[in-house]
């Protein structure tokens, strides 16, 4: 089977798989506090159907899978899916993005099923601010999840911090110190307008140059490095002598589309060649037919755009495609 190579000669080796659009938080940058309409459960792909799609992806050279949501751990029996993905020929890496609230009770069985590593969302280390950003949940539960991941041997452990101007930018130094004191990998992420481009996004958007400015202000000697496994588009740094590291993922200020190697599978069964644009391909009609499923992946390569143009949106310039109306939780981050 040939590799998945698009019109811009980008080779695709990575598939992000959403298993649900539901979440036990309502983070202000991801979904509204009230009024979200969630997918009917019968419309979600079953685990066996997801594995069927992933098997075709693996034949095309996809070697890495990431399980996402919504919050993937709210869907029961996730270890079944991970075990099925692990059994596919050629698969090298299976990872999970989670908010950590349910991780303490599941980390060990997920590791045993074949999970290699986790990314845990942590936008603040202040309990009151956690309630403001996430609108519910308990910060202590997240820390319990992080500790359980350490104990289970999931490695590396990355903490995803979405920086929001006027909300948590004053904690940059605190996160940098955490990367120095603990063997954790902090990933600062720019706020993206996925599914919305309102004034709230513009008001809270913060370019990640602010992180390096804060490091310099604090006098931290920095060393640039390749970063831990699965760093992808992250620009990676370490404070000299630190136990961990930090990375900058800046899709707006310095988009990394030219090296994009990923596709996304939504929980309701659509392949998205690009996170931002509306284009998607329904895999459900192709289930049960290897040939039809292969054509879906080949079509994804034909329609994948060169870049997402989110910077143009920030600048108020005209865009060349139609942005998706799906929220990040409905796509799979």
Residue 245: phi, psi to the nearest 5?
-150, 175
Q: What is the pLDDT of residue 201?
A: 66
- What does DSSP assign to residue 286? G
Q: Which helix (H) or strand (E) holds 55?
A: helix 47-59
CATH number for region 4-331: 3.20.20.70
Closest-CA residue to 266 (of 88, 71, 81, 16): 16
Calpha distance 156→118 (Å, rounded): 7
User: Beta strand pairing status for 222-225 and 235-239?
Assistant: antiparallel
The mean predicted confidence, pLDDT, of the chain is 89
Calpha distance 50→46 (Å, rounded): 6
Residue 305: pLDDT band by 50, 70, 90 thresholds?
A: confident
Calpha distance 241→175 (Å, rounded): 16
Calpha distance 192→8 (Å, rounded): 24
Residue 233: pLDDT band by 50, 70, 90 thresholds?
A: confident
CB 56 within 8 A of CB 82: no
Among 93-107, 198-212, 220-234, top mean pLDDT goes to 93-107
Closest-CA residue to 101 (of 182, 24, 187): 24
Residue 70: pLDDT band by 50, 70, 90 thresholds?
A: very high
Q: What is the pLDDT of residue 87?
A: 97
Calpha distance 268→263 (Å, rounded): 15
Average pLDDT over residues 284-300: 97
Q: What is the pLDDT of residue 319?
A: 58
């Amino acid at each position: 089977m040939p590799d998945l190579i698009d019109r811009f000669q980008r080779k695709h080796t990575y598939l992000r798989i959403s298993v649900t659009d539901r979440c036990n938080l309502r983070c202000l940058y991801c979904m509204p506090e009230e009024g979200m309409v969630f997918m009917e459960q019968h419309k979600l792909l079953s685990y066996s159907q997801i594995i069927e799609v992933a098997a075709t992806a693996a034949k095309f050279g996809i070697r890495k899978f990431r399980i996402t949501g919504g919050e993937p751990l709210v869907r029961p029996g996730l270890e079944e899916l991970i075990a099925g993905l692990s059994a596919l020929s050629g698969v090298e890496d299976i990872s999970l993005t989670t908010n950590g609230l349910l991780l303490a009770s599941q980390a060990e069985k997920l590791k045993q099923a074949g999970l290699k590593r986790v990314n845990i969302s942590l936008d603040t280390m202040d309990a009151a601010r956690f309630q403001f950003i996430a609108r519910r949940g308990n910060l202590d539960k997240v820390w319990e999840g992080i500790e359980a991941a350490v104990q289970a041997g999931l490695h590396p452990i990355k903490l995803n911090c979405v920086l929001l101007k006027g909300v948590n930018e004053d904690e940059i130094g605190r996160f940098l110190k955490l990367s120095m004191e603990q063997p954790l990998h902090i990933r600062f992420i720019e706020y993206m307008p996925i599914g919305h481009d309102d004034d709230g996004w513009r008001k809270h958007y913060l370019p990640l140059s602010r992180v390096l400015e804060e490091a310099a202000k604090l006098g931290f000697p920095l060393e640039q490095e390749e970063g831990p496994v699965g760093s992808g588009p992250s620009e990676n740094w370490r404070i000299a002598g630190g136990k961990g590291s930090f990375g900058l993922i800046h899709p707006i200020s310095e988009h990394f589309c030219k090296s994009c190697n990923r596709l996304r599978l939504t929980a309701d069964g659509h392949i998205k060649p690009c996170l931002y644009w509306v284009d998607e391909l329904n895999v459900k009609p192709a289930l049960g037919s290897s040939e039809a499923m292969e054509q879906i992946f080949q079509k994804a390569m034909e329609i994948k755009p060169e870049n997402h143009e989110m910077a143009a949106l920030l600048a108020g310039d005209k865009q060349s495609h139609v942005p998706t109306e799906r929220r990040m939780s409905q796509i799979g981050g």
